[in-house]
Amino acid sequence: MPADYYELLGVSRDVTENDLKRAYRGKAREHHPDANPGDDGAEARFKEISEAYAVLSDPEARARYDRFGHEGLRGGMGGPAFDFDLSDIFESFFGGNPFRSGRSRRPAGPPRGDDHETVVDLDFAEAVFGTDRPIEVRTLVPCDDCGGSGAAEGTSPTVCSICEGIGQVRQVRQSFLGQMVTTAPCARCRGIGEEIAEPCRSCRAEGRRAEHVSLVVRVPPGVDSGATLRLSGRGSVGPRGGPAGDLYVHLRVLESDVFVRQGDSLVAELPVTMLQAALGTTLSFDTLDGPQELAVAAGTQPNDTIRLSGLGVPRANGRGRGDLHVVVRVDIPKKLSKSEAVKLKEVAAERGEPVDGNADPVLAGASETQPDGDRRPAGRRKRRHKH
């Protein structure tokens, strides 16, 4: 079971902020690895002490720890897990970092270039089947005059005279723990390890220049809105020959007037008349793959579905495609001719289905009926005035 943080620092549970800092300084000085040579457990004890201070010095984390203990710091009691960097804590107190001792220093060299982002709009079918989309982005490319070195023609960069090519400078300072060694990027070469005596006039020693670049983005089948494609190395190049960043292409899929996407499936509507639904028929339907003959069975009901296997969206794992679900929409006519109305009433009578036989049907092409019984079009009636 993890040790109690208050006991590790030797403080009470109502310790103040200033007393907590003093306690941490004392414990850190006592258990620092440099103050305990040959003690393999010193670094572990030092990390525990720093972890305890990191939690107790944060009001929110301390409140969760007081209430739930170590479990509350892992997010197990409904709160987020507590995260901290022991290196940052120690450096804020002492300016050094015992947790990085013995590790290799950051290699010198030109830094990596910036990443870029862009948005690409896709038609519905392009998102389903994939496409190669040409785009244009503004980015930083190597300077043609110096080849990206940043040095004038006929010259080349030399090893930095300050950091001797390391890219970093070391500083030794005294603290109550003894001598502390810190490192920082070299100010003369900006951490690259090289300096330029004669800069390139075109790029002013940057080794790069801004330019509009045309690219082709290969969009895989089955993508959807919100998907992001990463084009490695297609961002800006770094200064003076540094590696290029990446280009992130965010996809936005336009809606279809016919199809609705549901995961790997597509859904569409097929309008049929009530007689086609009752008697059955065969209709042509335009899928994304071309026209398909759909058999509408006799007695088809509204919202019945015809499934077309394999005509949906390609699956991301490359294992086939989803299905196309065609939902039948039965359209009831709003107007009938007199003969149509008579025939339908006869059918209803034969089937024993009661209908309002006295009601006049809305006839196809009939004029609008006015409130006073006048069947002339409304625009042709004379307006009556009250006197």
The domain total for the chain is: 4
pLDDT score recorded for residue 95 = 47
pLDDT score recorded for residue 280 = 97
Query: Range with the lowest mean pLDDT among 110-114, 169-173, 198-202?
Result: 169-173
Task: Indicate the residue among 295, 314, 331 that finishes a domain.
Answer: 331
Task: Report helix, strand or coil for 286.
Answer: strand
Residue 216 near residue 197, CB atoms below 8 Å? no
Q: What is the pLDDT of residues 229-238, one digit of tens each?
A: 999 999 999 9
In a domain, 198, yes or no: no
User: 10 and 42 share a domain?
Assistant: yes
User: 223 and 314 share a domain?
Assistant: no
Cite the beta strand spans of 13-148 per DSSP E: 116-122, 131-142
Which residues, listed in sequence order, are joined to residue 272 by a DSSP beta bridge? 330
pLDDT, the chain, mean: 83
- Count of beta carbons in the 10 Å neighbourhood of residue 27: 21
**318 lies in which domain range?**
260-331
User: 244 and 264 share a domain?
Assistant: no
User: 282 and 363 share a domain?
Assistant: no
**300 φ/ψ sector (left φ>0, alpha ψ -120 to 50, else beta):** beta
User: 211 and 119 share a domain?
Assistant: yes
DSSP 84: -
Give the separation between CA 346 and CA 330, rounded to whole angstroms: 22
Tokens of 203: 């790029």
In a domain, 348, yes or no: yes
**pTM of the predicted model as reported, rounded to 2 decimal places:** 0.60
- Count of beta carbons in the 10 Å neighbourhood of residue 195: 20
Q: What is the CATH number of the domain that holds 43?
A: 1.10.287.110
User: 246 and 290 share a domain?
Assistant: no
Confidence of residue 47 (pLDDT cuts 50, 70, 90): confident
User: 240 and 317 share a domain?
Assistant: no
Q: What is the pLDDT of residues 48-98, one digit of tens each?
A: 888 888 888 888 888 888 887 877 676 544 444 555 555 555 555 544 454
Nearest to 157 by CA among 110, 202, 117, 119: 110
Q: Is the model's pLDDT at 251 over the cut of 60?
A: yes
Nearest to 223 by CA among 313, 308, 324: 313
Confidence of residue 349 (pLDDT cuts 50, 70, 90): very high
In a domain, 356, yes or no: yes
User: 9 and 64 share a domain?
Assistant: yes
Q: What is the CATH number of the domain that holds 313?
A: 2.60.260.20
Query: Range with the lowest mean pLDDT among 17-21, 293-297, 380-384?
Result: 380-384
In a domain, 181, yes or no: no
User: 276 and 249 share a domain?
Assistant: no
User: 64 and 91 share a domain?
Assistant: yes
Q: What is the pLDDT of residues 114-146, one digit of tens each?
A: 999 999 999 999 999 999 999 999 999 999 999
User: 132 and 23 share a domain?
Assistant: no
